[in-house]
Amino acid sequence: MWLPLLGLIVGIFLGLLTDIRIPEEYSNYLSIAVLAALDTLFGGIRAHMQNIYDEKVFVSGFFFNILLAASLAFLGVHLGVDLYLAAVFAFGVRLFQNIAVIRRILLTKWSTNKNKN
């Protein structure tokens, strides 16, 4: 499953080439959106490995999570509460969980392959 990595590299390359900068006050929103997107991506990889992957869930989750995270951050700014921390926390925890699951699956696959050999 090297495709996400390839896409990531292509995206980073494109982003660096275009030399786009966003105003500093919006960088908070972008960072939290990146976090949400990463969470969705790892969720998708995990689902793919567990064979419960659903295209619609994946794509809609991607956009919905980003929007939710950004609007949470926006609301937080206007309420004077650091609400984006909630999003950071939620996505962070899920990111770790997903990565842990992926790691376990990979480990199991590896050990079964080894046993077969």
Partner 1 sequence: MDKHKKNISFIAISAVIGFMIAIQFQTVKKPVERDTRDLWQLREAVLQEKELQSELLSEIRSIEEKLLAYESKQKRSKEQALLDTIQELKIEAGMTKVTAPGLILRIEPILEEIQVGAEISTSVSPELLKRLLNELNMYNAKYVSVDGQRIINTTVIRDINNETKIDGHALSRLPIEVIVAVDHIDTAEKLYNQMKASKATEEFFIENLKLTVSEPNPEISIPAYDNPIRIRYLESLKANEGGNT
What is the Cα–Cα distance from 27 to 52, expressed in whole angstroms? 34
Q: Which residue lies nearer to partner 1 by CB, 41 or 76?
A: 41
Interface of this chain with partner 1, residues 61 to 80, rule: CB under 8 A: 62
Tally Cβ neighbours within 10 Å of residue 110: 10
Region of 36-44, 67-75, 93-101, 107-115 interacting with partner 1 (CB under 8 A): 36-44
98 belongs to the binding site for partner 1 (CB under 8 A): no
Q: Which of 55, 28, 30, 25 is nearest to 40 (CA)?
A: 55
Q: What are 78's two structure tokens?
A: 């206007």
Q: Which residue lies nearer to partner 1 by CB, 65 or 76?
A: 65
What is the Cα–Cα distance from 55 to 61, expressed in whole angstroms? 10
What is the Cα–Cα distance from 76 to 35, expressed in whole angstroms? 17
Report the nearest approach of partner 1 to the CB of residue 115 (Å): 27
Return the residue of 3, 79, 113, 117 that touches partner 1, per CB under 8 A. 3
What is the Cα–Cα distance from 94 to 43, expressed in whole angstroms? 8
Return the residue of 4, 100, 110, 112 that touches partner 1, per CB under 8 A. 4
Rule CB under 8 A: which residues touch partner 1? 3-16, 19-22, 24, 27, 30-31, 33-34, 37-38, 40-41, 44, 48, 53, 55, 58-59, 62
